[in-house]
A and B are shown apart, each in its own frame.
Chain A
Amino acid sequence: MKSSGFIEESDLHALVDGELDPERRRKVEDHLLQHPEHAALVEGWRRQNAALRAAFEPVAHETPPLSLKDAASRAPASTQGPIETGAIHWGRPGASRPAQRLDDLRAQRRRQAMLSTLLTLLTGAAVAGLAALVFVGRHETPRPPVAASFTQSYAGRAGLTYATYASDARPVEIDISRRGELAAWLQERVGFSSTPDLADLGLRLIGGRVAPGVAAPAGLLIYERADGARVGLYFERAEAANAPQAPRAGQGVSAVEWRAAGFAFVLVGPLSSEEMQAAGERAARAVSAAPDAP
């Protein structure tokens, strides 16, 4: 507190209440020796304390009533439910209690239900987030936002795959300089090997790789624009038919999805939606025109 020699009234209280460190305490006690009027104040407060304890200490030695036994660990619901809801207390001093308790109880149940719902949601989100984290890995460069729930869809997996590889120092496994090898490999693993040419949209194919799909491995072709922006064309064998047949831009994420030749195609990238749509249409035309499409 203070290092000066002045003693405040608060110091006298602190002395009575044991709130002083030994050094300060010694100072205050020295002060009291020289100021009997302050010493008398302190003495008076100590007497007050003693009087308070004398008046109420016996309460602490009584045997507490049964109603207080385990009050903290008892669920109010189980012990007081039926009795408190009835009119048994009618006319007694605590007659207003039951309704109040019932309200408390209801509020508490609502809180508990809300809490458990929240907990379930949070747990789900945490698990999904963890999965996304594991898939996406650690990246320094910014990547398009990928909601974990999107892993359920082709676009979601395309987004994840794109996020994983597009910003990698080695984004493709087989460079386009070995086009024949790349096509053969994709044909073997994914079952589809067309490599749409988007050069007139400013997108140069730099190569491709195999990526995890759900039923079978998926393919990812990566295109690069002169400014370094990369667009991925993801394709995966499609299982159901309830998906867009023509290119359609995804919401929120820069992804264009369509179906052709038994595959789901997703074009992902940071370009504007018009550019993505154009690139998607071009790629879709190229894919369906490709002679080696099955």
Chain B
Amino acid sequence: MSRKAGILEGLGGVVPALRRYARALCAGAGQALSDELVQSALQSVGARIRARELRPADLDEARVEAYAALTAMATKRLAAAPRTAPRQPPIVQGLAELSLDDRAALLLVALEGFGYDAAARIVGAPRETLLARLTRARAALAADGLRPPSVDTGARRAAAHLRVVK
């Protein structure tokens, strides 16, 4: 009982990070939308915990559930969301160009610092899928000019080649 209450209260502390993730996931599609996603995700996870549909062992697990709920909701809502506003920083512009799946994978790992396993749980996909999306997202962002100019395309070819030779 008190564990549940503690977890519900602890989710309040996850709000700042959740907002950061939601804002990045929306990639400039609007602050109102991202905050609404955070609210819906928290309320849904909170309700499910209260209804004992969800029994997280600790706050970390509840946090993963909140991110998962937000990611799932974003998938639905962002399909109808307005396009990115113009004149965003290049990194945000680049994010907006990614598919939502790739974007979520990159943000969970690179921005939110989740391990591969937790991130895979959040997006509800196998670890390999998550890694593929992460790789794709990083490559696409790099192609958008965020890659250091000193590296030519041969480097990526070499890396891909290595994987096949193994």
The answer on a CB contact under 8 Å between A41 and B159 is yes
List the A side residues contacting B5 at CB < 8 Å: 73
> At the interface, is chain B mostly helix, strand, loop or mixed?
helix
Known A60-B16, A76-B43; contact A12-B159, beta-carbon cutoff 8 A:
yes
The answer on a CB contact under 8 Å between A74 and B166 is no
Known A52-B107, A59-B20, A72-B42; contact A44-B11, beta-carbon cutoff 8 A:
no
Does B146 sit at the interface, judged by CB under 8 A? yes
What is the distance, in angstroms, from A1's C-beta to the closest C-beta of chain B? 11
Known A67-B39, A73-B46; contact A8-B162, beta-carbon cutoff 8 A:
yes
Known A4-B166, A71-B15; contact A52-B111, beta-carbon cutoff 8 A:
yes
Known A55-B91, A71-B42; contact A48-B141, beta-carbon cutoff 8 A:
yes
Could you say which of B11, B91, B159 contacts A72, with CB atoms under 8 Å apart?
Answer: B11
List the B side residues contacting A19 at CB < 8 Å: 115-116
User: Please, could you name 16 A-B residue pairs with CB atoms under 8 Å apart, sorted by A?
Assistant: A7-B162, A8-B163, A10-B135, A10-B163, A40-B148, A41-B151, A41-B159, A44-B146, A45-B110, A51-B146, A52-B91, A54-B91, A60-B20, A64-B19, A73-B9, A74-B46
List the B side residues contacting A55 at CB < 8 Å: 24, 89, 91-92
Chain A, range 40-83, C-beta contacts under 8 Å to B: 40-41, 43-45, 47-49, 51-57, 59-62, 64-65, 67-76
The answer on a CB contact under 8 Å between B46 and A68 is no
Chain B, range 121-166, C-beta contacts under 8 Å to A: 131, 134-135, 138, 141-142, 146-148, 150-152, 154-156, 158-160, 162-163, 165-166
Which one, A107-115, A137-145, A169-177, A253-261, is touching chain B?
A107-115
Does A24 sit at the interface, judged by CB under 8 A? no
Could you say which of A17, A52, A64, A108 contacts B15, with CB atoms under 8 Å apart?
Answer: A64
Does B45 sit at the interface, judged by CB under 8 A? yes
Range of interface residues on A (Cβ < 8 Å): 35 or more
The complex places the Cα of A74 from the Cα of B11 at a distance, in Å, of: 11
Known A13-B135, A52-B110; contact A44-B51, beta-carbon cutoff 8 A:
no
The 9 tightest CB contacts between A and B, nearest first, are A72-B46, A37-B155, A72-B11, A71-B42, A9-B159, A40-B151, A73-B8, A60-B16, A60-B20
Does B47 sit at the interface, judged by CB under 8 A? yes
List the B side residues contacting A62 at CB < 8 Å: 16, 19
Chain B, range 1-23, C-beta contacts under 8 Å to A: 5, 8-9, 11-12, 15-17, 19-20, 23
List the B side residues contacting A64 at CB < 8 Å: 15-16, 19, 35
The answer on a CB contact under 8 Å between B39 and A68 is yes
Does B52 sit at the interface, judged by CB under 8 A? yes
List the A side residues contacting B16 at CB < 8 Å: 59-62, 64
The complex places the Cα of A48 from the Cα of B15 at a distance, in Å, of: 24
The complex places the Cα of A13 from the Cα of B136 at a distance, in Å, of: 11
Chain B residue, CB-CB nearest to A2: B166
What is the distance, in angstroms, from B57's C-beta to the closest C-beta of chain A? 16
What is the distance, in angstroms, from A89's C-beta to the closest C-beta of chain B? 12
Does A93 sit at the interface, judged by CB under 8 A? yes
